[in-house]
């Protein structure tokens, strides 16, 4: 396949402009049901790993707002991830401090796709899923750059 020079890249992970557009469009339809989306997300996350509950100190409503606010910024910028690289690295550093481990990113992705699937219902096609997976890979890889071996306890 020809190399698309407009493809958004960060840390070697890339998504096409079409995928960035899909993420923006579909996120717009999730936003009006943001609170339900957040409930689905955290319900799934804590079902996958109940231990993660201990890391969250804010009340669930506040957590849900944090999540939807960040995803709005992310969705608006996935086409140009270099605009939010610095913010994502700081976010990554704060996550090390919250006690998040690199392995938790897989459960977080699962919960995100689960909540999107339930919020978008029949709009959640394989193409939409692939676009969100690419966006998540882009965001999380930048955050994970800050999870250096010296920043995380051994064995994590």
Binding residues (CB under 6 A) for ligand HEM: these are 52, 55-58, 63, 66, 70, 74, 91, 94-95, 98, 100, 104-105, 108, 139-140, 143
Shortest distance in whole angstroms from residue 142 CB to ligand HEM: 9
Shortest distance in whole angstroms from residue 122 CB to ligand HEM: 26
Among the listed residues 125, 92, 85, 123, the one whose alpha carbon sits nearest the alpha carbon of residue 108: 92
Residue 2 or 113: which CB sits closer to ligand HEM? 113
Shortest distance in whole angstroms from residue 36 CB to ligand HEM: 19
Residue 4 or 9: which CB sits closer to ligand HEM? 9
Q: How many helices (H) and strands (E) does the chain have?
A: 6, 2
Beta bridge partners of 10: 13
Residue 4 or 35: which CB sits closer to ligand HEM? 35
Residue reference for tokens 């936003």? 31
DSSP 8-state code for residue 122: G
Q: Which two tokens stand for residue 36?
A: 């339900």
3-state secondary structure of 10: strand
């Amino acid at each position: 396949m020809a190399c698309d020079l407009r493809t958004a890249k960060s840390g070697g992970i890339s998504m096409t402009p079409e995928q960035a557009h899909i993420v923006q469009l579909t996120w717009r339809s999730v936003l009006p049901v943001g609170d339900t989306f957040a409930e689905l997300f955290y319900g799934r996350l804590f079902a996958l790993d109940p231990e993660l509950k201990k890391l969250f100190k804010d009340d669930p409503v506040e957590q849900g707002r944090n999540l939807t606010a960040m995803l709005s910024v992310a969705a608006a910028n996935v086409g140009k991830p270099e605009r939010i690289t610095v913010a994502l690295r700081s976010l990554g550093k704060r996550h090390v401090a919250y006690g998040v481990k690199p392995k938790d990113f897989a459960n977080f992705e699962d919960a995100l796709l689960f909540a999107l699937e339930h919020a978008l219902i029949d709009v959640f096609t394989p193409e939409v899923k692939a676009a969100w997976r690419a966006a998540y890979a882009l965001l999380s890889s930048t955050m994970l750059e800050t999870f250096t071996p010296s920043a995380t306890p051994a064995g994590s």
